[in-house]
């Protein structure tokens, strides 16, 4: 784009959806360079500006681009599983315009230099916006606290030890207290590692039948209950990642009712699937936390309906084929989630469990507010990060066609409904769907 001349684009005839304000009506959007400069019904009076590129949206839904607050990128260190480039390509194909990566790279994101390296590399891709969490403890070892103030100044939007829980209660107390002095968010993977042990799937009848060691519900529940007590002690800001059990929903609801600064997310894996997806040792369904019972899945949906669960995140955990094509007990945990985030979340709309605006709020404005990002809204002056989608187009998930290097998805072969047609970042179209594609 030329720096000397403004570039305007008029998107006409879209169904405008802004969950932050409840906007849901047919209208137009005008962008100039990187910002939205006009939005609303009959914005142009039938005549778009003569100096604008005109794109007819043909009734597609237009919403803020999705904000995915839980992504493992694998770069630096494990680029054979995923790179910033492949993750960004997968993200924009999934309608994600901002994603936040976990610090469990090699080296760990526990100093300013590594954090700035990721930010610099992400900018070179010129695709989705990439933010990062800083490590809560140095080396993710759960012992010595990282330098939160310096990392926050370098761009860290929160602090977490990623896929491992901070299991030492005294360390977690210090993490919450230290973060609270800067009003920073602490994100926990709530699973007691001693109780989870060497388990590989949800404890219960299915695990017993398959002869696999189980991870009890209590591993998540006990860690959550302990953390809530520590939040009460410290006044810290706490976010529980990918909750998966009925009891977890109750614990979070109780904490919120007491006025504690507690939030949580879940992933589409836990609202759409249960432990039966493991089937005959399907390693693509080996996730952390594990897929739970049907009763737990229904409770997660209910938690989304009532608003106890604030955010839906992809929990994108890419693995290479060598890590997944192993006996179930030896296979790595994790599933690819960026390219199915919208479509599987829309199941909640098609099943009449949530409205379209309610689902979009958990994917846009709510994570933006939690993380303090200038994103997630359709309004004048906002970044022109836009998603155009058709909620009714059906297609089949085929992992081998993913843009991600990781083809392991527990949704492989699943029919879904809702397709990303165009993704716009800072006013530039970075993804446009093929009109005839019916799988991905």
* H helical segments located in 258-355: 268-272, 294-306, 321-324, 341-345, 347-350
Determine contact, residues 403/90, Cβ cutoff 8 Å.
Answer: yes
Q: What is the pLDDT of residue 435?
A: 67
CA pseudo-torsion sign 152, 154, 160, 161: negative
Does residue 426 carry a pLDDT above 60? Answer: yes
Q: What is the pLDDT of residue 1?
A: 41
Give pLDDT tens digits for 399-420: 999 999 999 999 999 999 999 9
User: Does the bond joining 143 to the residue before it have cis omega, within 30 degrees of 0?
Assistant: no
- Across residues 413-439, what is the average pLDDT? 90
Q: How large a percentage of the chain has pLDDT more than 70?
A: 97
pTM of the entire predicted model:
0.96
Q: Structure tokens of 424?
A: 């716009």
Give pLDDT tens digits for 237-254: 999 999 999 999 999 999
Long-range CB pairs of 394-401, under 8 A, 24+ apart, other chains included: 394/438, 395/343, 395/419, 395/437, 395/438, 395/439, 395/440, 396/438, 396/439, 397/340, 397/343, 397/439, 397/440, 398/439, 398/440, 399/284, 399/336, 401/439, 401/440
**DSSP code at position 192:** -
Q: What is the rounded average pLDDT for all residues in the chain?
A: 95
Pairing of strands 23-32, 35-40: antiparallel
Give pLDDT tens digits for 187-207: 999 999 999 999 999 999 999
Distance CA 277, CA 288 (A): 14
pLDDT bin (cut points 50, 70, 90) of residue 6 is low
Give pLDDT tens digits for 279-328: 999 999 999 999 999 999 999 999 999 999 999 999 999 999 999 999 99
Task: Give the N- to C-terminal CA distance of the chain in Å, as an integer.
Answer: 30
pLDDT bin (cut points 50, 70, 90) of residue 437 is low
Q: What is the pLDDT of residue 440?
A: 55
Q: What is the pLDDT of residue 2?
A: 41
Give pLDDT tens digits for 113-137: 999 998 888 888 889 999 999 999 9
Q: Which of 192, 315, 369, 385 is catalytic?
A: 315
Give pLDDT tens digits for 8-46: 999 999 999 999 999 999 999 999 999 999 999 989 987
- 110 labelled catalytic: no
Residues, the chain, total? Answer: 440
pLDDT bin (cut points 50, 70, 90) of residue 5 is low
Give the CATH fold of the 67-370 domain.
TIM Barrel (3.20.20)
């Amino acid at each position: 784009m030329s720096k000397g001349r403004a570039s305007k684009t008029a998107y006409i005839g879209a169904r405008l959806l802004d969950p932050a304000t409840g906007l849901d009506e047919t209208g137009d959007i005008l962008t100039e360079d990187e910002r939205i400069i006009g939005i609303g019904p009959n914005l142009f009076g039938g005549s778009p500006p003569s100096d604008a590129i005109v794109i007819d949206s043909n009734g597609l839904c237009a919403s803020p681009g999705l904000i995915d607050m839980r992504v493992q990128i694998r770069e630096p260190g494990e680029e054979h599983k995923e790179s910033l480039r492949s993750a960004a390509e997968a993200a924009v194909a999934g309608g994600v315009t901002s994603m936040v990566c976990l610090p469990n790279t090699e080296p760990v994101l526990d100093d300013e230099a590594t954090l700035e390296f990721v930010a610099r590399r992400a900018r070179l891709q010129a695709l989705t916006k990439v933010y990062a969490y800083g490590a809560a403890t140095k080396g993710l070892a759960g012992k010595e606290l990282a330098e939160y103030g310096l990392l926050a100044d370098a761009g860290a939007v929160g602090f977490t030890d990623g896929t491992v829980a901070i299991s030492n209660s005294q360390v977690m107390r210090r993490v919450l207290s230290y973060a609270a002095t800067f009003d920073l968010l602490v994100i926990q993977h709530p699973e007691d590692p001693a109780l989870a042990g060497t388990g590989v799937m949800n404890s219960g009848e299915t695990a017993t039948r398959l002869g696999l060691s189980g991870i009890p519900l209590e591993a998540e529940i006990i860690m959550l209950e302990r953390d809530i007590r520590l939040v009460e002690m410290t006044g810290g800001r706490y976010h529980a990642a990918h909750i998966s059990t009925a009891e977890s929903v109750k614990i979070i609801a109780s904490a919120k009712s007491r006025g504690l600064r507690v939030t949580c997310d879940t992933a589409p894996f836990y609202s759409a699937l249960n432990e039966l997806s493991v089937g005959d040792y399907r390693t693509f369904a080996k996730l952390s936390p594990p897929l739970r019972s049907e009763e737990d899945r229904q409770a997660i949906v209910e938690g989304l309906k009532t608003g106890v669960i604030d955010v839906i995140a992809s929990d994108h955990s890419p693995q290479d084929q060598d890590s997944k094509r192993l006996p179930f007990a030896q296979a790595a945990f994790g599933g690819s989630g960026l390219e199915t985030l919208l479509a599987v979340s829309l199941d909640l709309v098609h099943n009449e469990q949530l409205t379209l605006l309610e689902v979009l709020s958990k994917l846009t404005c709510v994570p933006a507010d939690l993380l303090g990002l200038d994103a997630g809204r359709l309004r004048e002056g906002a970044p022109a990060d836009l998603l155009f989608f058709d909620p009714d187009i059906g297609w089949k998930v085929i992992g081998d066609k993913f843009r991600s290097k990781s083809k392991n998805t527990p949704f492989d072969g699943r029919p879904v409904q809702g397709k990303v047609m165009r993704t716009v970042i800072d006013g530039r179209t970075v993804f446009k769907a093929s009109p005839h594609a019916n799988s991905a």
